[in-house]
Amino acid sequence: MKHNFGAGPGILPQEVLKQAAEAVIDLNGIGLSLLEISHRSKEFEAVLDEAVSLVKELFSVPEGYSVLFLQGGASTQFALVPYNLLPSTGKAAYLETGVWANKALKEAKYFGEVEIVATSKESNFTYIPKNYTIPADAAYFHITSNNTIYGTQLQEFPKSPIPLVCDMSSDIFSRKVNVADFGLIYAGAQKNMGPAGVTLVIVKDDILGKVDRKIPSMFNYQTQIEGGSMYNTPPCFAIYVSMLTLRWLKGKGGVAAIEQENITKARVLYDAIDANPLFKAVAAPEDRSNMNVCFVMENPELEKPFLKLCDERGIVGIKGHRSVGGFRASIYNALPLSSILVLIDVMNEFAESNK
Ligand SMILES: Cc1ncc(COP(=O)(O)O)c(C=O)c1O
């Protein structure tokens, strides 16, 4: 048995994988694979409808918002957000909390002026900047709720006088969120929601249609809303597996229930790191992520032997991102507490034998 701490594509529930495998052979006993039916068939339309309904239910999405399943990953949203929301004579505000936030703001520069309201670049993004002012004259304010590479997470969302746009790729559906506080939320599915290949967008309808430029159909949120995410052939399989994962989440008691589990899982792991003489957590304590737990060793020479021991015990995906080094345990929704306890045992055993 493997303990999958990979940062993404990340762990999915075992039961979802089994159901997905069955649907590849025969979807609901119809004698056809999910992969070989029309996206306009009643079977697939039911899948998409259920996926949209589950997003609305799990996140209590209010009236006036549209839920889209698009392609191109979160990185395409880095460009589509300013394409659709930033007038060519206007400016957009960004909070720079890591490489992904930086990539997002770079794309916005193709469309208009960008103001970085605050950054933690000088400390290699070990904390979330606070006490900044959001410019009221900007078209929107863009934040990244969880910084996958550095293991920091916004514990509270800012109250914004302008539409708040959030990249939730690595913590979507891991905690309660008041969607009404946001103009637009987007997330690549491949960490907490499903497989790679589909991107969730939740957009408040009335923030659209305000830019002066022409937007090609595929890149225009309004076209996608009118087409019900089916302006062209959608990523059927990725949507199906996301729907199964959302069903699984609902069965577990929804976002509020998983949030409690995630808090417990993260606390147990951070406590173990803090108590271990060999390891040190990287992120500022008040900004620690409940999804990606980054930690390093005081003595980097011990890194390789530790990774080897992890490998022997079935712990995979724990090597840190190259820009931070050390280790990163991604503890997404589908990762059980039991896997974390195995990791803690291995850390303790390693510390014991390297006194
Ligand atoms: C916070 C965040 N934003 C964006 C991305 C990029 O996502 P994609 O590969 O779907 O473009 C990632 C990928 O890890 C991420 O963690």
DSSP reduced 3-state for 103: helix
Q: Are the CB atoms for 201 and 62 separated by under 8 Å?
A: no
Residue 1: what pLDDT?
86
* Cα–Cα dist 11/9, whole Å: 7
Residue 293: what pLDDT?
98
> Is 90 touching ligand 1 by the criterion CB < 6 Å?
no
> Is 195 touching ligand 1 by the criterion CB < 6 Å?
no
Q: State the residue for tokens 């291995």.
A: 346
pLDDT at 266 over 90: yes
pLDDT classification of 118: cutoffs 50, 70, 90: very high
> Is 187 touching ligand 1 by the criterion CB < 6 Å?
no
Q: State the residue for tokens 């015990």.
A: 313
Q: Of these residues, 18, 49, 100, 274, which one is catalytic? A: 100
pLDDT at 133 over 90: yes
Tell me the per-residue pLDDT of 56-112, one tens digit each, with 9 for 90 and over: 999 999 999 999 999 999 999 999 999 999 999 999 999 999 999 999 999 999 999
Q: State the residue for tokens 């080897």.
A: 308
Neighbours of 353 (CB within 10 A): 9
Pocket residue to mutate for ligand 1, from 71, 75, 172, most atoms within 8 A of Cβ = 75
> Is 170 touching ligand 1 by the criterion CB < 6 Å?
yes
pLDDT at 296 over 90: yes
> Is 75 touching ligand 1 by the criterion CB < 6 Å?
yes
Dihedral sign of CA atoms 56, 59, 63, 69 in order: negative
Q: Has 248 been annotated as catalytic?
A: no
pLDDT classification of 355: cutoffs 50, 70, 90: confident
> Is 74 touching ligand 1 by the criterion CB < 6 Å?
yes
Q: Are the CB atoms for 96 and 119 separated by under 8 Å?
A: yes
Q: In the chain, how long is the greatest CA-to-CA distance?
A: 65
> Is 150 touching ligand 1 by the criterion CB < 6 Å?
no
* Cα–Cα dist 105/273, whole Å: 34
Which atom belonging to ligand 1 lies closest to the Cα atom of 196? 10
CA of 188 to the centre of ligand 1 (A): 6
Contacts of 85 (CB under 8 A, 6+ apart): 92, 139, 140, 163, 165, 183, 184, 207, 208, 210, 211
Determine phi and psi for 293, rounding to 5 degrees: -105, 110
> How much of the chain exceeds pLDDT 90, in percent?
99
Q: 253-353 domain in CATH 3.30.1130.10? A: no
Q: Domain residues of the chain, as ranges? A: 14-251, 253-353
Pocket residue to mutate for ligand 1, from 142, 148, 322, most atoms within 8 A of Cβ = 148
CA of 288 to the centre of ligand 1 (A): 19
Q: Are the CB atoms for 181 and 164 separated by under 8 Å?
A: yes
Closest residue by Cα to atom 4, ligand 1, is: 74
> Is 188 touching ligand 1 by the criterion CB < 6 Å?
yes
Which atom belonging to ligand 1 lies closest to the Cα atom of 199? 10
CA of 167 to the centre of ligand 1 (A): 8
Q: Are the CB atoms for 129 and 80 separated by under 8 Å?
A: no
Tell me the average pLDDT across 119-126: 98
pLDDT at 47 over 90: yes
> Is 320 touching ligand 1 by the criterion CB < 6 Å?
no
The dihedral over CA atoms of 259, 195, 245, 168, expressed in degrees to the nearest 10, equals 30
Residue 136: what pLDDT?
98
Q: Are the CB atoms for 16 and 9 separated by under 8 Å?
A: no
* Average pLDDT score, the chain: 97
In this structure, CATH architecture of domain 14-251: 3-Layer(aba) Sandwich (3.40)
Pocket residue to mutate for ligand 1, from 170, 171, 190, 192, most atoms within 8 A of Cβ = 170
Tell me the average pLDDT across 258-266: 98
Tell me the per-residue pLDDT of 306-333, one tens digit each, with 9 for 90 and over: 999 999 999 999 999 999 999 999 999 9
Tell me the per-residue pLDDT of 148-206, one tens digit each, with 9 for 90 and over: 999 999 999 999 999 999 999 999 999 999 999 999 999 999 999 999 999 999 999 99
Contacts of 312 (CB under 8 A, 6+ apart): none
CA of 49 to the centre of ligand 1 (A): 25
Closest residue by Cα to atom 10, ligand 1, is: 73
Closest residue by Cα to atom 2, ligand 1, is: 169
Which atom belonging to ligand 1 lies closest to the Cα atom of 98? 1
Dihedral sign of CA atoms 8, 52, 256, 150 in order: positive
More confident residue, 266 or 298: 266
Tell me the average pLDDT across 118-123: 98
> Is 144 touching ligand 1 by the criterion CB < 6 Å?
yes
How far apart are the two ends of the chain, measured CA to CA in Å?
A: 29
* β-sheet bridge partners, residue 92: 114
pLDDT at 52 over 90: yes
pLDDT at 139 over 90: yes
* β-sheet bridge partners, residue 199: 70, 188
Q: Are the CB atoms for 121 and 96 separated by under 8 Å?
A: yes
pLDDT at 221 over 90: yes
